Amino acid sequence: MTANPVSAGSPLRDRVARSLDERREPGVAELCDALERLLDGATASDDAIAVDRLQKGVYRLRVGGACGRTLVIKRHTPAMAHTDRLVAERWLPALGLGDGYPQLLTAAAQHEGRWVWHVYEDLRSEALAARWEHPRVEAAIDLIARLHTRLRDGIAVLEALATVRTPVTFAVARCRLLERLYWLLDAAPGQVRLMDEAGVPETLLHGDLGRKNIFVASDGDRPCARLIDWDHVGVGPASYDVSTLLYQSPLDDRPWMLCRYREALERAGHRLPGDRELNALFHAAETARGVSSIIWPAMALLNDGAEWGRSGLVDIDDWFENLRPPLSDPVGSAA
């Protein structure tokens, strides 16, 4: 990965270019152009502009000092940038969840097309990983429940449209969409079909629903949750997302969190199986995540003789030895 030289210009351009060039980030000139357009040529002294690295390929830009504006900039591959844009601009808004994602403000592609920068609003709030409090966790669970009740709603709406007179082109598109949704349900392996029979909804998944990807801010007297990093978005059983959050939460908090999630789904007209059944499904989902992590160290060890592959497989084996269902004392089946 090579950095692109950026000509001197505004304090904003100079500071962003200097910070990202130090880390040999690509597409800096294109990103600076997009930022200057977004900020409408805003000028500020160099000491009132800061770029802080949050993680690999992700930065917070501060313009105007402590009381100024902050943005989050993130580097994607083109494919992931496309998916992320669809999540932000089409999928979540279409499901009535446009408020559950940070606003995508602008984007800039590297001139070679290998990388794309996205610029988001800064949520100005803390992730659950940083501050674990019941009202904030409740807000997060309520948002997750909203997310998980939407796919079947989409199927129901498409089926209902069959009775409405529409142009032929729309009718064909509706049928194709229904076929795709039902194919997702029917093509799932036996484990997922068992989940469906147990009442676990098949839905849009975040895919990486750990505490670090859930931000909660105060909206008046009520906490307001948002989800970031939709890099693994997909369709599947809701238990996949819920299990991730439960396994990353304190053991004593898991029962009431699941109770909150159950109540939120029931208010939306969905029922879940009992905690014992769910506990088994959550354990299966976590097991599946563990199985999927085996391939990379195994291939590295087999093809390249990479020593990290050996130690990686040992670590995974230890992880499986210690893996247990997330609820230590689940109650019986739901009525």
Asked if the model's pLDDT at residue 5 lies above 50, the reply is no
Which residue reads 């007179």 in tokens?
A: 165
Beta-bridge mates of residue 227: 214
Mean pLDDT of 294-315: 70
- Write the pLDDT tens digit of every residue in 84-129: 888 888 778 877 788 888 999 999 999 988 999 999 999 877 888 8
- Write the pLDDT tens digit of every residue in 173-210: 677 676 765 754 554 455 555 555 666 667 889 999 99
Locate 128 and state its tokens: 């659950």
Mean pLDDT of 72-86: 90
Mean pLDDT of the chain: 81
Q: Could you tell me the pTM of the whole model?
A: 0.63
Domains of the chain: 11-121 (3.30.200), 126-145+188-322 (3.90.1200)
The residue type found at 34 is A
- From the list 55, 27, 52, 109, the residue with the least C-alpha distance to 228 is 55
- Write the pLDDT tens digit of every residue in 10-57: 888 999 999 999 999 999 999 999 999 998 755 555 667 899 999 999
